[in-house]
Structure 1
Amino acid sequence: MTTPVPGLDGDEEILWRSLVELLLRLPRILDEYFDREAKVSMSDYSVLVALSEAPAGELRMGELAETTALSRSRTTRVVDDLIRRSLVTRRKCEQDGRGALAALTPQGLAVLTAAYPGHLARVRSLVLDHITRSEMRTMTQALSRVLTALREDTAGD
């Protein structure tokens, strides 16, 4: 017999609905910017950022998926598209021969560098300009706990 799950109270309902709307609205707005201004998708940009921050500008495909929070199949599709556009390369991992490494190309870094100022402006205008430093710290702490739980929940995937 399962234990019934209690319904959401008023504050929980407002928070949950606001979070769902944010999760749906913000990526669409950012994707529209990236598509229009930078000619890359938000997923493309996330992969380029992850590679730019990695040692030697490269990551194993599994690590890239984990870093970007994209599924492995989605990561493969994004990397394949970036390879076609000469923004990323992929090669077999020399250590074990099984895995593949994705690497940022100079063209990929140029696209990332060009997209960054506009992305930063949108992050500020859409999110950061609307919350105080104190709220930022509180939100960061709360989101960190939620993300830890989500990562643990999906660790076996």
Structure 2
Amino acid sequence: MTTRWLTPEEQRAWRAYIAASQLLEDAIDRQLQQEAGMPHLYYSILATLSEAPHHCLRMTDLAERLKITRSRLTYAVTRLEKDGTVRREGCRMDKRGSLAILTDEGTALLERTAPGHVETVRASLFEHLTEQQVGQLEEICTEVARALQGDGEQSAPDDLPWRRRSSTSCT
């Protein structure tokens, strides 16, 4: 098999993407550490739970939404439990499953932290883009994610660490 090396244009685009994504993640992490004493992943867990019905998701569904391994999620949720921002309960419908539930303390922390987080995202990313570029960024990222997850015409890769279907119900 012959290697299809990146063209000079692809190489520049790839390196620009890597630099931008690492710098953006660093800016967001620094802001969240300063304001809330937590990394971006922990904030993402709280935010995802805040958007879910009843502020609750099965751990497997939460891992899939965040695109992280279940073991990494378990570690993060354990830490958030110690901080009182998330609690875990067994799932009534499936005794093997467990639910992550956003607590009132977690909601309050999000309400305090969200304005600074949004300002950091806006200042670090969106203030540097035109309205058209924002649309292009969404289109590009959606297509790449769709291709990597196997959504659409392609079947889902079995090796995705968060891949396991289950109900998102918390009742």
Q: TM-score, normalised by structure 2?
A: 0.86
Which residue does the alignment assign to 1:5?
3
Alpha carbon RMSD of aligned pairs, Å? 1.2
Distance 1:154 1:42 in 2: 26
Identical amino acids, percent of aligned pairs: 33
Q: Give, in angstroms, the shift of residue 144 of structure 1.
A: 0.7
From 25, 38, 41, give the equivalent of 2:39.
41
Which residue does the alignment assign to 1:94?
92
Distance 1:85 1:139 in 2: 35
* Other structure's SS at 1:89 match: strand
Q: Give, in angstroms, the shift of residue 156 of structure 1.
A: 3.8
Gapped regions of structure 2 (runs ≥ 5): 151-155, 161-171
Which residue does the alignment assign to 2:22?
24
Moved >6 Å (runs of 4+): none
From 81, 84, 91, give the equivalent of 1:83.
81
Q: Give, in angstroms, the shift of residue 24 of structure 1.
A: 1.8
Between the two proteins, the alignment pairs up a number of residues equal to 155
| Higher RCO (C-alpha under 8 Å, 6+ residues apart) | 2
Matched-pair contact (CA < 8 Å) for 2:85–2:104:
yes
Distance 1:133 1:29, change over 3 A: same
**CA deviation profile, 1:33-60 (whole Å, cap 9, x unmatched):** 1111122210110000010000000000
Q: Give, in angstroms, the shift of residue 69 of structure 1.
A: 1.6
Which residue does the alignment assign to 2:137?
139
From 49, 52, 72, give the equivalent of 1:51.
49
